Amino acid sequence: MLLAATEYVRPASLEEALAALAGTAGARVLAGGQTLINVLKHRAAAVELLVDISRLEELRFIEVASDGSARIGAATTYLELERSAPLRAVAPTIGEVAAGTVDRQVRARGTIGGNACFADPASNYPPLLFALEASMEIAGPAGTRSVPAGEFFLGLYRTAVGAGELLRSITLPPLDGAGVGYRSLQLAADSWSIARAVAWVRCAAGEPRTIEAARVVLGCVAGAPVRASATEALLSGGAASEEAVSAAASLASEGLEPPSDVHASGSYRREMAAVMAKRALLDAIGGAA
């Protein structure tokens, strides 16, 4: 509960933040702190310098373009995401996920960037950003580089953000009529997820409805979110029917060895990931144009 001694700085700009990160080994970005402060309380990591970016306007914004794409600053809070009407119009799932995150105290301070960079298997945003094929903009001493979400989440607590860098923004491509489904099996209401699946589906025009393309990403089954490729392959070009979805979803977690922990066994996680995949797909189909 009592933190170890540490240093703190609140840079006035992104440039200053990067300089601070580069200047001290063992420096960490502090945004909302809704995860990092717990880490510090339990002395699970030694942090020499906390670089507080939570008030940087450069990192805290929501921009929605006329083409339906959106760019979100990494330090934007869950509350801001939940309340943004423009964002809801182009990417409703982002705000819905924010609204269901933990509790309102956490939502007032926690950020999408913090969630993405923590990269816990149970973190809310990684599988969603992966399924939406978001672009993760990483700022560093040499400038800003863009990494697709699918290459950003590398494993347990590991992302593509390197030493001296920080995540500055996330760009979401336009949905263009695709539907998105997001389903979690949780320990309790708005609590830890045991299995999670996010589906993105584009349907082709015409009757009966068919699936033009589908992406299914599973969370809580491995260190990083996992694409359910076998499921996607089976769905692509096929009927957008419950039967077809069930058949495809049953393959979703094949070959996976999810961990067992105090909340659930690996085998239950594996089976539930497939159930969540099915439900997320049906939701996505329901929401697709």
The three-state DSSP-derived secondary structure of the chain is CCCCCCEEECCCCHHHHHHHHHHCCCEEEECCCCCHHHHHHCCCCCCCEEEECCCCHHHCCEEECCCCCEEEECCCEHHHHHHCHHHHHHCHHHHHHHHCCCCHHHHHHCEHHHHHHHCCCCCCHHHHHHHCCCEEEEEECCEEEEEEHHHHEEECCEECCCCCCEEEEEEECCCCCCEEEEEEEECCCCCCEEEEEEEEEEECCCCCCEEEEEEEEEECCCCCCEECHHHHHHHCCCECCHHHHHHHHCCCCCCCCCCCCCCCCHHHHHHHHHHHHHHHHHHHHHHCC
Q: Assess 1 for contact with another protein (CB under 8 A).
A: yes
| String marking each residue 71-90 x if it binds another protein according to CB under 8 A | --------x-----------
Nearest to 124 by CA among 137, 135, 110: 110
CB 114 within 8 A of CB 126: no
Is position 3 an interface residue for another protein (rule: CB under 8 A)? yes
Residue 44 interacts with another protein (CB under 8 A): yes or no: no
Stretch that binds another protein, among 112-120, 132-140, 143-151, 268-276 (CB under 8 A): 268-276
Among 13, 15, 41, 242, binds another protein (CB under 8 A): 41
Residue 42 near another protein by CB under 8 A:
yes
Is residue 265 a contact point for another protein (CB under 8 A)? yes
- 189 lines the binding site for another protein (CB under 8 A): yes
Among 71, 88, 227, 263, binds another protein (CB under 8 A): 263
Q: Choose, by CB under 8 A, the member of 14, 22, 37, 247 that binds another protein.
A: 37
Q: Is 261 in the site for another protein (CB under 8 A)?
A: yes
- Nearest 5°: the CA angle 71, 116, 1 is 130
- Of residues 135 and 193, the one with the C-beta less far from another protein: 193
In angstroms, give the least distance from the CB of 28 to another protein. Answer: 12
Cβ 182 to another protein shortest distance, Å: 16
Asked if residues 94 and 172 have their Cβ atoms less than 8 Å apart, the reply is yes
**Complex with another protein: residue 138 or 272, whichever CB lies closer:** 272
Of 13-21, 87-95, 100-108, 130-138, the segment contacting another protein by CB under 8 A is: 100-108
Stretch 102-161 residues interacting with another protein (CB under 8 A):
102-106, 108-109
Using the minimum distance from each CB to another protein, give the nearer residue, 90 or 185.
185
Site residues (vs another protein, CB under 8 A): 1-8, 10, 30, 33-34, 37-38, 40-42, 50, 52, 54, 79, 102-106, 108-109, 185, 187-192, 194, 261-265, 268, 271-272, 275
